[in-house]
Amino acid sequence: MTKRPRYFNLEPIMNPKSIAVIGASDNPDKIGHVILANNVASGFRGAIYPININASGTIMGYTAYKSILDVKEKVDLAVVAVPAEVVPKVVEECGRAGVRGIIVVSGGFSEVGRKDLQDKVTRSGMKYNIPIIGPNCLGVTDSYSKIDTLFLPAAKIDKPVVGGVSFASQSGAVGSSVLDMIDNEGFGLARFISYGNAAVVDEVDILNYLADDEKTKVIVFYIEGVQRGKEFIEAAKRAALKKPIVVSKGGMTDEGAKAAHSHTAALAGSHQAYEAVFKQFGFIMADDIQELLNLSKIFETQPLPKGRRIAILTNGGGTGVLATDALYEHGLQIAEMSKKTVESLRKVMPPIVNVRLPLDMAGDAEKTRFEAALAAFEADPKIDAIIAIALFQTPGADENVAAKLVEYGTKMRKPMVVVSPGGSYTKRQRQIIEKGGVPVYESPGEAAKALAALASYAEYRDSHVKKSR
């Protein structure tokens, strides 16, 4: 087998000027139809070439071709959605046609014991030096280039807004669930890559690409197994100095690893080894799907803290108690307020408010008390970050409080997260705050865990960026 480059450039896949959809069809039940339709709907502006062995005339209004070899113009990206048996031939033709990137969405390869078919795809990729994503994947969607190869019914999945989080997933299922949840979590997407069996393009290529990508502020990964261990470590080291990497690893137990092997034929390797590598390079590890989202969103909008001294403000005592517990459970600590802060708060808060941290501003706290606390905490050099608990069930907490939380959560040079558990009224306030750019959590524990991840990454950056100079 020809030697592969150290890593493939994914630019022709993520930002193509022209795409061919191989297996395109006018029949709406065909995957090739959905992919074609989605790219048209997503606003992709480049040239589109439908390819189908049975084609004559047009497909969905575009001139159709029987083979990629019949297209005279330069094709950047070919998306392949034909039966597995036919894929090797199609990929080989793409190579001969000078296509610059390929996505094979079709399944039926290593994951069902057809390693022979997958090896042919790998060989073509190496021979022609083409990055190939897949097989057995959903492909990619990109908020900037508008490329979209996901063959999921549009009515069933919420489209995220444009943002700074890029998400790569070996599993299409985990990928599409997370993608569907992003909008509700109030953060935005840069690139999404579902890479399946990783016949050519693997974690190493993706990590390198996203590390250098200016639109990507946070890299998020769902991984089942890494094949090029040494190169992965190298890429991880380089990427982690540039931006935070949140990772969830499927197959962290023996039985889970067996399931992963049957799923994407991933070589799961020892969990301890993975964990050691992730820890060494300051990766943020998420156990579960919701946690992956919780840990990702804080990195998109919040600055890194200078330390672990946290101020909690709340309009409900019990939630302040739980938040305090959660801080210590996650290695953070309650800040000590400076004298100036204490004095300024004493002036504003009513006598029943005990001016200590956590600051319980009482159930009738409204905009004024919230603002006084936020302003004092912003100015206090002994406070590194803020957890603002806003219980919107109370009489005083309303859209004015939400607006203050957005104002301070976006202008301060220290990180802030909001905790707002509740039902429909609370959800509306939560949306205002999140759309405003401040992460909101349902539980104090989730907020503390996210802040702790931010603090840990800050410490990793501090020690390693200096070292590497």
Q: Of the candidates 2, 227, 333, 410, which one interacts with a second copy according to CB under 8 A?
A: 333
Query: Is the alpha carbon torsion for 308, 309, 315, 319 positive or negative?
Result: positive
User: Whose Cβ is closer to a second copy: residue 227's or residue 354's?
Assistant: 354
Task: Give whichever of 204 and 223 is closer to a second copy, judged by the CB atom.
Answer: 223
- Closest approach of a second copy to the CB of residue 140, in Å: 16
- Nearest CB to a second copy, comparing residues 23 and 316: 316
CA angle 324/390/348 to nearest 5° reads 90
Residue 464's φ and ψ, nearest 5 degrees, are -90, -35
Q: Which is nearer to a second copy, 78 or 292 (CB)?
A: 292
Question: Minimum CB separation from a second copy for residue 325, in Å?
Answer: 4
d(CA 203, CA 223): 8
**Out of 4, 100, 243, 263, which residue is the one contacting a second copy (CB under 8 A)?**
263
336 binds a second copy (CB under 8 A): no
How far apart are CB 174 and a second copy at their closest, in Å? 4
> Is 157 a residue that touches a second copy (CB under 8 A)?
yes
Nearest-approach distance from CB 412 to a second copy, in angstroms: 24
Q: For residues 276-315, which are near a second copy according to CB under 8 A?
A: 287-291, 314-315
- Which CB sits closer to a second copy, 101 or 358? 358
Of positions 97, 126, 181, 342, contacts a second copy by CB under 8 A: 181
Q: Which residues ranging from 405 to 444 are in contact with a second copy (CB under 8 A)?
A: 421-426, 442-444
In terms of CB distance, is 9 or 177 closer to a second copy? 177
* Pick 73 or 255: Cβ nearer a second copy: 255
Residue 247 in the binding site for a second copy (CB under 8 A)? no
Q: Of these, 251, 282, 305, 439, which contacts a second copy (CB under 8 A)?
A: 251
Closest contact distance (angstroms) between CB of 401 and a second copy is 12
Tell me: does residue 83 bind a second copy (CB under 8 A).
Answer: no
Minimum Å distance from CB 341 to a second copy?
Answer: 17
Nearer Cβ to a second copy (131/172) = 172
User: Does 379 participate in binding a second copy (rule CB under 8 A)?
Assistant: no
Q: Is 170 in the site for a second copy (CB under 8 A)?
A: yes
| 327 touches a second copy (CB under 8 A) | yes
Q: Beta-carbon neighbour count of residue 173 at 10 Å?
A: 12
The number of C-alpha atoms within 13 Å of 300 and in the hemisphere containing its C-beta is 30
* Residues 183-242 interacting with a second copy (rule: CB under 8 A): 183-184, 222, 224
Between 158 and 343, whose beta carbon lies closer to a second copy? 158
d(CA 450, CA 460): 15
Q: Which long-range contacts (CB under 8 A, 24 or more apart) does 456-464 make?
A: 456/282, 456/284, 456/331, 457/244, 457/282, 457/284, 457/299, 457/304, 458/304, 458/305, 458/306, 460/240, 460/281, 460/282, 461/241, 461/282, 461/304, 464/240, 464/241, 464/282
Rg (CA), the chain: 25
- Report the half-sphere exposure of 330 (CA within 13 A, side-chain side): 23
Find the binder of a second copy among 139, 320, 415, 439 (CB under 8 A).
Answer: 320
Tokens, residue 276? 């050691």
For a second copy, the binding residues in 95-114 under the rule CB under 8 A are: 107-108, 111-112
# binding residues, a second copy (CB under 8 A): 85
Task: For residue 343, state whether it binds a second copy (rule: CB under 8 A).
Answer: no
| Nearby residues of 240 by Cβ (< 8 Å), 6 or more positions away | 281, 282, 283, 460, 464
Contact between 40 and a second copy by CB under 8 A: the answer reads no
Q: Amino acid identity, residue 169?
A: S
Pick the stretch among 12-20, 152-160, 197-205, 232-240 that binds a second copy (CB under 8 A): 152-160
Told to check if 326 binds a second copy by CB under 8 A, we report: yes
Cα–Cα distances in angstroms (integers) from residue 437 to residues 184, 360, 406, 407, in the given order: 13, 25, 7, 9
For residue 136, what are its two tokens? 């057995």
Q: Applying CB under 8 A, which part among 235-243, 323-331, 365-373, 457-465 lies near a second copy? A: 323-331
The 347-376 site mask, x for binding a second copy (CB under 8 A), equals -----x-x-x-x-x--x-------------
Closest CA to 378 of 320, 311, 307, 330: 311
Rounded distance, CA 443 to CA 450, Å? 11
